[in-house]
Amino acid sequence: MPARTVVIALGGNAILQHRETGTAEEQFANVQKASRRIVEIAGEGYAVVVTHGNGPQVGDILLKNEIAKDTLPPMPLDVCGAESQGMIGYMLQQSLQEALREAGLDRPVATVLTRTLVDGDDPAFENPTKPIGPFYTAMQARRLEAEKGWRMVQIPGQGYRRAVPSPRPVALVEEWVIVRLLSAGAIVIAAGGGGVPVVADGRGALRGVEAVVDKDYTAALLASLVGAEDLLILTDVERVALNYGRPDQEEIDEMTVREARRHLAAGQFPPGTMGPKIEAAVGFLEAGGKRAVIASLNDASRALDGRAGTRIRP
């Protein structure tokens, strides 16, 4: 049995970058690169759970639904999220298995289609903040607000987008499945895009909701549920920085939960980007995790060895 368990959270941009057009070839090439980094870690003896963002992919699926809407009924966001888990899970399964083969390792790989339980009373439902899908003109935005009750937000210089709630993850419905497969020795791909958000009614029946759970918060919960020692959040910067983008910018090698909380309170980490990653790391460590590391994809393996990225400890 592997000595340690790590949950690796891949940013959606590790699979499809902003400047790319979104072909399957581009995405496979990116996923193959990420998979080789993940397999390096598996080869060091870690039990591995992979989770991933889905922003660019679910954005494309939503846009295709929008463009085709006079011909075919658009699918709601929960269904599109499940589609994106199938799409990205498949690309990861293929690429991880190939990277394992190249490395001479023999481990099963499994994608677990995951639902994330959220609280129907989460205040996020009163205040949708997460922009998703295509851009609209002001006139279209007003019509969508009236017709569908969507909350629209203006993105300066780019138009209007739908904003959906981003509630906190409470539980993973497929926890049992993930734990079973992981302890049997598989590399498990789970909770893509933060998982498909579902709420429970008074009787316990689950219903999908049009919301997006932040994938880093879900990664932290997932790491706690599988008893992972390490949470590795991969992104497109090499280290967390203080005073980011200013002349006195200062990269952090290591910090404690207490220091991270202090920087968060001081507004050092913006809500849309680094903030959720730091909060996720802090949440994981406060729930008993041993180490959280934020690093760039290329440094993944070195980051777990303590030679790259920003480490946060309890």
Residues identified as active-site: 12-13, 130, 215, 277
41 sits near a copy of itself (criterion: CB under 8 A): no
Phi, psi (rounded to 5 degrees) for 276: -60, -30
Q: Count Cβ atoms within 10 A of the Cβ of residue 17 and give its class: 0-12 exposed, 13-18 middle, 19 or more buried.
A: middle
* CB nearer a copy of itself, residue 16 or residue 297: 16
**Number of neighbours of residue 241 by Cβ within 10 angstroms:** 17
84 sits near a copy of itself (criterion: CB under 8 A): yes
Phi, psi (rounded to 5 degrees) for 11: -65, 150
Range in contact with a copy of itself (rule: CB under 8 A) among 1-9, 71-79, 214-222, 266-274: 71-79
Residue count (the chain): 314
153 sits near a copy of itself (criterion: CB under 8 A): no
- What gap in Å lies between CA 300 and CA 36, rounded to an integer? 10
Query: 98-117: which residues touch a copy of itself (CB under 8 A)?
Result: 98, 101, 108, 110-113, 115
Query: 37: which strand partners?
Result: none
- What gap in Å lies between CA 163 and CA 119, rounded to an integer? 18
Question: In angstroms, what is the minimal distance from the CB of 302 to a copy of itself?
Answer: 27
Tell me the pairing of strands 241-242 and 250-251: antiparallel
61 sits near a copy of itself (criterion: CB under 8 A): yes
Query: 10-29: which residues touch a copy of itself (CB under 8 A)?
Result: 21-24
Residue ranges binding a copy of itself (CB under 8 A): 21-24, 60-61, 63-65, 67-68, 71-73, 75-76, 78-79, 82-87, 89-91, 93-94, 97-98, 101, 108, 110-113, 115, 173-174, 176-177, 180-181, 184, 186, 196, 198, 203-208
